[in-house]
Amino acid sequence: MRKTTLLNSNIGSVISKMGHTDMLAIGDCGLPIPNETERIDIALMKGVPTFIDTLRVTLKELQIEEVLIATETRDISPKLYEEIKEIIGQVKITFISHEELKKNLKQCKAVVRTGEQTPYANIILKAGVVF
pLDDT at 2 over 80: no
With left for phi above 0 and alpha for psi between -120 and 50, is residue 70 left, alpha or beta?
A: beta
Residue 4 has pLDDT above 90, yes or no: no
Q: What CA–CA distances, in Å, run from 85 to 28, 73, 88, 92, 98? A: 17, 12, 5, 10, 18
3-state secondary structure (DSSP) of residue 121 = coil
- pLDDT at residue 1 in the model: 57
- At 18, the pLDDT band (50, 70, 90 cuts) reads very high
User: How far is 75 from 90, CA to CA, in rounded Å?
Assistant: 20
Q: Which of the residues are catalytic?
A: 20
**Cβ(73)–Cβ(55) below 8 Å:** no
pLDDT at 69: 98
**Is the domain 9-127 a CATH 3.40.50.970 member?**
no
Question: Mean of the pLDDT values across residues 88-104?
Answer: 98
3-state DSSP call for residue 126? strand
Query: Would the pTM of this model clear 0.95, i.e. be above it?
Result: yes
Residue set of the binding site for substrate? 28, 98, 120-122
Q: Is the pLDDT of residue 3 over 90?
A: no
Binding-site members are 28, 98, 120-122
DSSP-derived 3-state class of residue 14: helix
The per-residue pLDDT of the chain, averaged, comes to: 96
The pLDDT of residue 101 is 98
The DSSP result for 33-82, as a single string, is PPTTSEEEE---BTTBS-HHHHHHHHHHH--EEEEEEEHHHHHH-HHHHH
User: How would residue 47 be classed by pLDDT, with cut points 50, 70 and 90?
Assistant: very high
Q: In what order do the strands lie in the sheet with 64-70?
A: 38-41, 110-113, 23-27, 123-127, 64-70, 92-96
